[in-house]
Each structure stands twice: as structure tokens, then as C-alpha cells.
Structure 1
């Protein structure tokens, strides 16, 4: 077990808040860009996004190194990381002004749905995420 484990609550707090900030900033920037706003492409929100995401990934890496290997036996973290890559790709495409508005809107919705799925997987610690709450009748 890592000696850094004593800092787990603080690192998790930073990670959770960075997730909230990153997701909120993406939703605001991309949503505003779909409505024709120019501020989402300004250097300040772009670099703020890079900074938040750097903190987020650093905290995620620290959490990963702190936790025991048995924590990840059901592969929820693997699914979450794959979806993070999908989310980043969808988000990058959704922010491209060259694409038609309808396609960008669909990419934006897909990115937000992926973000919610990632959150569900993280909360449930299971690859099925929110689907665990759906019970067959």
C-alpha cells in the first residue's frame, strides 16, 4: 500500500472538483459556441480548460497510484479510461467550427452523454455504471 494513501481524501476532493469544473466549462463553452458565441474560442477559456484538465489528470494519476490493485478487478477503471478518450474526441470534434451545426450539436450531445456515463461508472465502481440502477421487472 502506498504511503501517499494518507492524502487520499484530499486528492479525491481535488479530482472530484476538477471533474465538475472541467465538465461545466466544456458544457458552457461548447453550448455557447453552438449558439454562435465567440468567447469560447478566446485564449482565456481555452487555457483555463487546459489547466483544469491537467489538474484533473494529475489527481487521477495520483489516485490510481494510491489504490490497491484489487480495487480494479472488475475493470470499471479500464472502461472509464476508454470513455474518457471517447469524450475528449467527441468534445474536440464538437468544438470545430468547420463542421455543420447539426453534426456539432450531435457530437456535443454524445460528449455530454459520455461524460454522464463516465460519472456513473466512477460512482458505481462498476463498468455498467448507471445501468446497475435499471432493474428488470
Structure 2
């Protein structure tokens, strides 16, 4: 399966960008009062399909290089950040009680997503801050 690593990696990257873009769109719809549109079933199913493909590609990448999961601090950092991102995103789209709280969680989710992109791009737990701090 090692020979398919580049293709699997590209599928993973495309799914990351699609998932983040769809979340941002749904979050903005929620912020502008179009909660029903943000929760529209086809959008939710599209989100599930993209996220399932994303997770499948990630698991395939980990299975190709199984020792890399905890040997590299940046992968562990991405997994921890993913948990925070999912919690923030859930609160931003439907679980938070007030519009202000939903806005705060949307900002937190998007900031976490951008930080995860930096961690993945730099291959370092500090992500975008790697060159400035360390």
C-alpha cells in the first residue's frame, strides 16, 4: 500500500479543505440566522461523507506508517486538536444556547482548524508558530 501513499495523502488534503470549507459555510449560515439551511439534510449528509472519507484516508496513512503515530509529536498534537475542533464545531452549529456563545465557538473551531493546518504543514506541534517561537 506504500506505493499509493501520495494519492491517499492528496485525498486526505482535499477532504480536509472540503470539510473545513463546508463547516465554515454552515457556521456562517448559523450566524446569519439561517439555522435551518445550515442543518439542511443534504448538507449534513455531504459533511458526513466528506468526514468519513477524511477519516478513512487518515487511517490508511497511519496504517502505512504505523510507527509514525506517536513517534512524531505533530501527529499526536493533531489528534488532540481534532477532539477540540469537533467539540467546538458541535457547539457552534447547534449545541450552544445563545447566538453569542455559538459565535465564540465558531471562532474557536475555525482557529483550531487553522492551527491544525499549520501543524500538518510544518510537521511540528507549534504549527505556524514554529519559526517564530522555536
Where structure 1 has 5 or more consecutive residues not aligned to the other structure, the ranges are none
Kindly report the root-mean-square deviation, in angstroms, between the aligned alpha carbons of the 2 structures.
Answer: 1.7
Q: Give the match for residue 58 of structure 1.
A: 56
Q: Work out the CA distance in 2 between the residues paired with 1:88 and 1:71.
A: 20
- Partner-residue secondary structure (3-state), 2:33: coil
Where structure 2 has 5 or more consecutive residues not aligned to the other structure, the ranges are none
1:9 corresponds to 2:6: yes
Q: Give the match for residue 110 of structure 2.
A: 112
| Equivalent position to 1:128, from 126, 129, 132 | 126
TM (norm. structure 1) is: 0.91
Q: Work out the CA distance in 2 between the residues paired with 1:34 and 1:76.
A: 32
TM (norm. structure 2) is: 0.93
Which protein shows a greater Rg?
1
| Equivalent position to 1:22, from 15, 19, 32 | 19
Greater relative CO (CA pairs within 8 A, separation 6+): 1
Which structure: greater helix fraction?
Answer: 2
